[in-house]
Amino acid sequence: MTLNNSGDNHFYQRVFDVTCLIPVGRITTYGAIADFLGLGSARMVGWALNQCHQSGIRIPAHRVINRNGELSGRNHFATPTLMEELLMAEGIEVRKNIVVGFDKLFWHPREIEQM
């Protein structure tokens, strides 16, 4: 996969790979992905996921929300409501841009290692 000619490709790919592992109907946070990858910064994960919308690659970025359950990345989708629509299509309830039942739906990438 080639996004650009910078050294960001490997970093983006690692974020994209983890994001693709989030099960349908579950959510995770930018911080959980950063923690799993040893990045130390949730913002770096958000930045990488913002780039996936322009790459033409299908990455389920809609399943990544902030630590408060808010759809903080919604404005980086094609429309401001698309993130919510995609989550709702997977059976995830959203009210006022916040995921309902965050604790029950939360998935941490560490769960991969437990499989």
Spatial contact of 102 and 32, defined as CB atoms under 8 Å apart: no
Domain ranges of the chain: 8-108
pLDDT of residue 16: 94
Biggest CA pair distance of the chain: 40
Q: What integer is the mean pLDDT of 74-99?
A: 96
Spatial contact of 81 and 89, defined as CB atoms under 8 Å apart: no
Q: For residue range 8-18, what is the model confidence (pLDDT) as tens digits?
A: 678 889 999 99
- CATH code, residues 8-108: 1.10.10.10
Tell me, rounded to whole angstroms, the distance of Cα 35 from its chain centroid: 13
- Total-model pTM: 0.88
